[in-house]
């Protein structure tokens, strides 16, 4: 299989993963403009495919928040409890001590 065909498959996979659509669902684009002819390793092809997918999706109206941060402030238990999904006891932080009750 040619590298260009492999690159197209990489871009298609990334477009599907990021945008939930396939390349065939989007407007025409010049894949050659993104093809890294001088790439020397898989990581360089992967990075180029990611950049290509993001630009294709952006050109087709997909919006991305570059500042989005999905990390948590604490552990999963406190995050779920803070989100109204129960209490810390429900997620393993309660030690079984009733204390002053």
pLDDT tens by residue, 31-47: 888 888 888 888 888 88
Residue 24 covered by a domain: yes
What pLDDT band is residue 83 in, cutting at 50, 70 and 90?
low
Q: Are 57 and 15 in contact (CB under 8 A)?
A: yes
Q: Are 16 and 46 in contact (CB under 8 A)?
A: no
Q: How far is the C-alpha of 48 from the C-alpha of 2, rounded, in Å?
A: 16
Whole-model pTM: value is 0.58
Q: Are 81 and 88 in contact (CB under 8 A)?
A: yes
Range of the domain at 79: 68-94
Residue 99 covered by a domain: no
pLDDT at 72 over 60: no
Phi-psi region of 65 (alpha: psi -120 to 50; beta: other; left: phi over 0): beta
Residue 39 covered by a domain: yes
Do 85 and 53 lie in a common domain? no
**Tokens 């109206």, residue located:** 61
Residue 100 covered by a domain: no
């Amino acid at each position: 299989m040619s590298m260009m065909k492999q690159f197209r498959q990489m871009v298609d996979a990334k477009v599907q993963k990021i945008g939930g659509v396939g390349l065939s669902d989007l407007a025409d684009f010049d894949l050659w403009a993104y093809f890294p002819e001088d790439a020397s390793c898989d990581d360089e092809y992967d990075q180029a495919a990611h950049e290509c997918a993001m630009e294709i999706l952006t050109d087709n109206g997909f919006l991305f928040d570059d500042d989005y941060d999905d990390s948590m402030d604490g552990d999963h238990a406190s995050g779920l409890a803070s989100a109204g999904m129960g209490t810390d006891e429900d997620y393993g932080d309660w030690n079984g001590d009733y204390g002053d009750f």
